[in-house]
Structure 1
Amino acid sequence: MVSRVIPVDPFDLVVFGGTGDLARRKILPALFRRFCAGQMGANARVIGAARADMDDAGYRSFVSDAIAEFDPDAARHKDHLDSFLANVSYVVLDAKGDAGWDKLAATVQKGRVHAYYFSVGPGLFGDLAQRLHTYGMADANSRIVVEKPFGHDLASARDLNRVLAQHFDEHQVYRIDHYLGKETVQNLMAVRFGNMLFEPLWNSQYVDHIQITVAESVGVGGRGDYYDRAGAMRDMMQNHLMQLLCLIAMEPPAKFDPDAVRDEKLKVIRALDPVAPDNVVRGQYEADGDAPDYRTQVETPDSRTESFVALKAHISNWRWAGTPFYLRTGKRLKDRASEIAVVFKEAPHSIFGAEAGRHRNILTIKLQPNEGIELGVTIKEPGPGGMRLLDVPLDMTFAEALGEDGPDFPDAYERLIMDVIRGNQTLFMRGDEVEAAWQWADPVIQVWEEGGETPIPYASGSAGPDDALMLMHRDGRRWREIKA
C-alpha cells in the first residue's frame, strides 16, 4: 500500500548544525526520502550551515554518505540521489559571530517558505534567532524548528520562550518531539475520536488503569555528557511520555486543528496532581556481562543521575478521577519497546463462576519496534469440559494489515519536517504547553536533588528496579512484560 503524497510549496530549509549527528542520522535521510516520494519539488533547496570548513561539493559528499548509511532504501533510490544533491549547498557559519551570515542571506531565496532547523544546543537558539532577523532572513514565511531539550527546568524554558518571542511569533515556532510524528501516535487520535466503539468507555467508570512504557535496550552511548545532566525524567518523561499521556487522556477537541488539539493537551497537564515522592522510583543500570554500567559510560564515578524512572500519576478531572496512570522509561532494559496499554475493568459479575478466572480487556497501542494496535478479548477455550475462558488478541499490525509489502508511510522526521513546510503545528508543542509540563516535573526533580537521593541499581537487560514492580503490586496490579 502506498500512502498518498501531496507536494509541498517551494521552500528553502536551512539546517543549522548541518554536519551534526542529528542532521546526519535523521534530518538529511528524511529529506531525501521525501524527495524520492515526490513530496519535495525539484526547486526545494536544502542548505547546511555549520562551523566545519567545507564547500558545496564536500557537503554533498557528506550528505550522500549519511543517506547511504542511514536510509535503508538508499540503494533502491540511487537514481534520485544526484537530483537531490543538486539542490544541496553549504555555508560556513559562526552562530555567535557574524562570519558567514551575509553569504547565507544571499543564498536564501525570497518569496518562498523559509524553514530554519535549529539542530544545535539550546544555548544557541537566541543567537540564531537574533541573527536571522538582523540579516533580513526572517519574514512572514519563516518558521524555526527547535529540538528538545527545550529548557532544563521551568525557568530556563520560560527564558527560551521569551528569547524566541523577541524575534518570531508563536505560530512560527515549531518545538519538535519526534514521538508525535509516529504513525501509531496519530492513529491513537483516530481510534479515540473516529470510532464510537471506544469513546463511551474512555473514562474512569470503565478503565481500571493505563500504562505507558518507553523502554530502550541501549545505554547512554555517546550522549553521556548530556544525559548525565538531564536524566530520564528530563530527557524522556517530561516530554515524550507527557505527550503520550496527553493524547490518551485529553478531551475531544472541537476540530482537528493545531490550537484546538493543543488546548486540550494543555488542560490535561494542568489537571495533573503533584506526584508524591513514594509514587516515584528512580534507577540506574549496572554492568551485566559485556554491558558497561552507567557511571562508566558517563565517566562520573559518583553520578546520581537516573537512567530509569517509573511513577504513578493522577488526573483530577471528571473523566479520569480515580484512574491511575503508570509511566515508566529507562535505558538498558530487556527490550526496545514502547506501548500504551489501556486496561479496562473486569466485568462486574462473572456468570461463569470462579473457575473461569479473572479476565480484562486490554487495548494496546504499540509504538515501536512494530507499530500497531491490539485489543485483547475473552473467548471460550475450544473443546469439551465446561466453560473455560481465555484471552486472545485482535491484532492489527500495520505492516501486515495494510498490504503485503507493508505501508509506505513516512517516518516521524519526514512527516514533521513536511508539516513545518505546510505550516501545520498540530503535532508540535506550544510554548505554554512546554512550560506547564516543566511546572509538573520540576517538583519531582527538586525532591531528588535536594535530598541527595541515590538511584536504585538495576541489572542491564532487566525490566528495571524491583521497586518499580512494587509501585504497581501494592495496588494489586502488575506491569505488562517488556517485549519487542
Structure 2
Amino acid sequence: MVRDNDMASTIVIFGASGDLTSRKLIPALFRLFQKKRLPEGTRIVGVSRSDFSDDQWRNQLGETTEKFLPASFTAEDWKQFCQHVYYRPGDITKADDFVALGDYLNELEGTACDRVYYLSTSPRLYESAITLMGQAGLADEATGTRRVIIEKPFGTDLASAEALNCSIHKSFNEHQIYRIDHYLGKETVQNLFALRFANTIFEPLWNRNYIDHVQITVAEEVVIGRRAGYYDTSGILRDMFQNHLLQLMMITAMEAPARYDANLVRDEKVKVLHSVRPMSGADFAKNTLRGQYQGYLQEDGVPAGSQTATFAALKLYIDNWRWKGVPFYLRSGKAMSCRTTQIVIQFRSPPHLLFPSGKTRTPEANQLVIQVQPAEGLQLYFQSKVPDTEMKTRTSHFDFLFQEAGPGGMPDAYQRLLMDAVNGDASLFARSDEVELAWSIIDPIINAWGSAAAPDLHVYEPGLWGPTESTEWMQGQKRSWFDVCPVI
C-alpha cells in the first residue's frame, strides 16, 4: 500500500457473504493491494448475518479469490493482504447492530479515518439500511470522510427513485453518495473521454454534419435462467436501458466539460438527458420495438402468458445544436447471437460518388466501432482501393485492442470504481438528478408497453440478433444494425 501521507481508509462491505463480494469486490481490492494503490493502513470489514470469525472469512475469501484470479493470486500476497481483512456479524435491519458496528469501527481504527460503505445487499434494504446508518452516526464526517456506494437498481421507476433519493439525503449529503454502474469503470468507456477530448481528428466530426446515426448495443447470450423472480417484474428496459445504455449514450453525446471535474462531467451528462425528445402518442409504436425469446415462458418461475420483454430497441433524438436530427438507436436483449457491448458511430455517406458506375460497388460509409466488452478496443472502417484493379474499392479497417496497449492486462471495472470512491472522485458515478432524469425517459415507454396500445411483442429464436422485425424496422429507415460479434 502507498501514499503514507494519506489518511487511512476503512472499506465496510454490507452483504459480505454474498456473491458480489467474493466474485468482484474482494478480488478487485486484492489486485489494488498488489498494485500498491490502496492508501496505507486500509482496512476491509465485512458485515453480514453469517457467523464467521475473522480467520474463517479470510480463509473462505482466499479460496474464492484464487478461483477468480488464477493468474494473479499468490499465497504470499494473500497472506499480507488478509491481515487487513476483518469480519463483523450484523443484521442491517437492526438499529442496535449499526450502533455496535460503529463502536467496533471506532475501536478498530483508533483515530481519525476515512470510510467507504458498500451496500452489496438486496435493493429493498437500501432505504432502511441507510436510515439506520444515519441514526447510528455512521454518516458523520467529524473524524473523516464518509461515503456510501449503492448498487443498481436505484429505484424501479421515477417515483421510487425520487423517494429513495429523498430518504438517503436525510442521512447522507449528495457528495457522500456514489451510485455505481460497473459499465462506467470499463477502460473502453473511460477511453471515450480520451478519444473525443484528447484528439483533434474526431471531435470536429462528432456532430450532425458528419454523423448519420449512432447505435448502442448491449447483447447477452445468456437466458434468464433462475432470475425469473427478479426479471419478470423488471424486464429489459429496467434491467439495461435506464442505467447501462443511457449512461453510454450520455458519454457518447455529451459536450466537453471545462475541466475533468466530477461535478462538471456530470453536469454535461445531465444536459444530454434534458435534451432527449420526449415520446408521446404514436411515438411509442413508431420509435420502440419489443421482443421475447422463444422459450422464455417455459423458464422456471415465469408466469403463464407473461408479456415481459427480453429484447428492446429504442430510437431516441437529442434535440440540441450538436445532435439535432441524428437518431440514437439503443438495443439490448437476452439470448442473443453473442455477448457484446458496442457503440457504432455511423458517418454519413460521401456527398458525391466520384468513381464511375460499374467500376466499383457503392462504397459503404465510414464507421467507428467502440467495443466496450468483451473485446475492448476500437475499429475504424474506411474505403480503400483493391490492389491491381482499375478503381475498385473495398472496406478496410484499423483495429486497436486496449489490452495490447497496457501492462498487466485489462483491470476489472470494480478496481477503478472502488479506487475512485476511496479517493472521492465521483466522475463515474451517477448523481441524483441524473438517475431521476433517466427514469423520466424510460417510465413513459414502460407505461406505454403496459397499456392497451402496447406495440406487438415479437418472438425471436435464441442465438439471433433479436426479432426479424427489428432488422426490418431499421431497413425501413434505410439503415442496418451492426450485427457483428467482436473479433478484434
Q: Following TM superposition, by how much is the alpha carbon of 1:204 offset from its aligned partner in structure 2, in angstroms?
A: 0.8
Q: Which residue of the partner structure matches residue 380 of structure 2?
A: 375
Contact 1:9 1:421 in 2 (8 A): no
Question: Distance in 1 between the 2:104 and 2:375 partners?
Answer: 41
Q: Which residue of the partner structure matches residue 198 of structure 2?
A: 194
Q: Which residue of the partner structure matches residue 22 of structure 1?
A: 20
In the alignment, does 2:251 pair up with 1:247? Answer: yes
Unaligned runs of 5+ in 2: none
* TM-score for the superposition, normalised by structure 2: 0.92
Q: Following TM superposition, by how much is the alpha carbon of 1:283 offset from its aligned partner in structure 2, in angstroms?
A: 1.2
Q: Following TM superposition, by how much is the alpha carbon of 1:408 offset from its aligned partner in structure 2, in angstroms?
A: 3.6
Q: Following TM superposition, by how much is the alpha carbon of 1:221 offset from its aligned partner in structure 2, in angstroms?
A: 2.9
Question: Bigger relative contact order, structure 1 or 2, given CA contacts below 8 A and separation 6+?
Answer: 1
Q: Following TM superposition, by how much is the alpha carbon of 1:318 offset from its aligned partner in structure 2, in angstroms?
A: 1.1
Contact 2:186 2:413 in 1 (8 A): yes
Contact 2:225 2:299 in 1 (8 A): no
Q: Which residue of the partner structure matches residue 306 of structure 2?
A: 303
Number of equivalenced pairs: 470
In the alignment, does 2:339 pair up with 1:336? Answer: yes
Question: Distance in 2 between the 1:300 and 1:210 partners?
Answer: 36
Question: Distance in 2 between the 1:413 and 1:222 partners?
Answer: 25
Contact 1:133 1:167 in 2 (8 A): yes
Question: Distance in 2 between the 1:240 and 1:249 partners?
Answer: 14
Question: Distance in 2 between the 1:73 and 1:220 partners?
Answer: 30
Contact 2:149 2:180 in 1 (8 A): yes
Question: Distance in 2 between the 1:62 and 1:256 partners?
Answer: 40
Question: Distance in 1 between the 2:250 and 2:291 partners?
Answer: 25
Q: Following TM superposition, by how much is the alpha carbon of 1:9 offset from its aligned partner in structure 2, in angstroms?
A: 4.7
Question: Distance in 2 between the 1:59 and 1:455 partners?
Answer: 47
Q: Which amino acid aligns with 1:416?
A: L
Q: Which amino acid aligns with 1:475?
A: Q
Q: Following TM superposition, by how much is the alpha carbon of 1:50 offset from its aligned partner in structure 2, in angstroms?
A: 1.0
In the alignment, does 2:215 pair up with 1:211? Answer: yes
Contact 1:212 1:245 in 2 (8 A): yes
Q: Which amino acid aligns with 2:433?
A: D
Name which of structure 1's ranges 147-156 and 91-100 shifts more when overlaid on structure 2: 91-100
Unaligned runs of 5+ in 1: 288-292
Deviation track 1:15-45 (CA, whole Å, cap 9, x = no partner) reads: 1111112112111111111111111256211
Deviation track 1:394-435 (CA, whole Å, cap 9, x = no partner) reads: 1111123x16xx554421111000100000000000000000
Contact 2:232 2:302 in 1 (8 A): no
Q: Which residue of the partner structure matches residue 95 of structure 2?
A: 98
Runs of 4+ in 1 over 4 A off after TM superposition: 5-9
For residue 450 of structure 1, give the secondary structure of its aligned residue in structure 2. Answer: coil
Question: Distance in 1 between the 2:60 and 2:101 partners?
Answer: 19
Q: What does 1:315-334 correspond to in 2, within 5 Å? A: 315-334=318-337
Q: Which residue of the partner structure matches residue 393 of structure 1?
A: 397
Deviation track 1:361-398 (CA, whole Å, cap 9, x = no partner) reads: 111110111100111121111113x1001111111111
Q: Which residue of the partner structure matches residue 260 of structure 1?
A: 264
Name which of structure 1's ranges 389-398 and 413-422 shifts more when overlaid on structure 2: 389-398
In the alignment, does 2:125 pair up with 1:119? Answer: no
Contact 1:209 1:343 in 2 (8 A): yes
Question: Distance in 2 between the 1:461 and 1:39 partners?
Answer: 41
In the alignment, does 2:351 pair up with 1:353? Answer: no
Question: Distance in 2 between the 1:298 and 1:268 partners?
Answer: 38
Deviation track 1:286-336 (CA, whole Å, cap 9, x = no partner) reads: 24xxxxx35414432222111111111111111111111111011110100
Q: Which residue of the partner structure matches residue 290 of structure 1?
A: none
For residue 100 of structure 1, give the secondary structure of its aligned residue in structure 2. Answer: helix
